[in-house]
Amino acid sequence: MKASKPRKAVNPGAARPRQLEENFMLKRFAGWWLAGPATLAVLVFLILPVAATIATTFGDDGGIFAPYIAFFNSGFRRAVLWRTIEISLATTAISLVVGFLTAYVVSKSPGKLKSLLIIAAVFPLLTGVVVRSFAWLIILGKNGILNNFLVGIGAISEPLSMLYTQGSVIVAMVYLFVPLMILTLVGVLENIPDDIVQASSSLGATPAATFRQVILPLAVPGLIVGAVLVFTGSFTAYATPQLLGGERQMVMGTLMYQRAMVSFDWVGASTIAAIMVVITVTVVLAMSRVARRLNPMAT
List residues binding another protein (CB under 8 A): 193, 195-196, 198-207, 209-210, 213-214, 217-218, 295-297
Q: Rounded to the nearest 10 degrees, what angle do helices 216-235 and 266-294 cross at? A: 180
Compute the least distance from the CB of residue 189 to another protein, in Å: 14
Contact 160, 147 (CB under 8 A): yes
Compute the least distance from the CB of residue 214 to another protein, in Å: 6
Nearer to another protein by Cβ, of 173 and 214: the residue is 214
Question: Hey, how many other C-beta atoms are within 10 angstroms of the C-beta on 183?
Answer: 19
Q: Compute the distance between CA of residue 200 and CA of residue 193 in angstroms, rounded to an integer.
A: 11
Nearer to another protein by Cβ, of 43 and 297: the residue is 297
Compute the least distance from the CB of residue 219 to another protein, in Å: 10
Nearer to another protein by Cβ, of 93 and 205: the residue is 205
Count CA within 13 A, CB hemisphere, residue 60: 0
Nearer to another protein by Cβ, of 158 and 194: the residue is 194
Nearer to another protein by Cβ, of 31 and 110: the residue is 110
Q: Compute the distance between CA of residue 123 and CA of residue 136 in angstroms, rounded to an integer.
A: 16
Nearer to another protein by Cβ, of 198 and 282: the residue is 198
Nearer to another protein by Cβ, of 12 and 204: the residue is 204
Nearer to another protein by Cβ, of 60 and 195: the residue is 195
Compute the least distance from the CB of residue 236 to another protein, in Å: 32
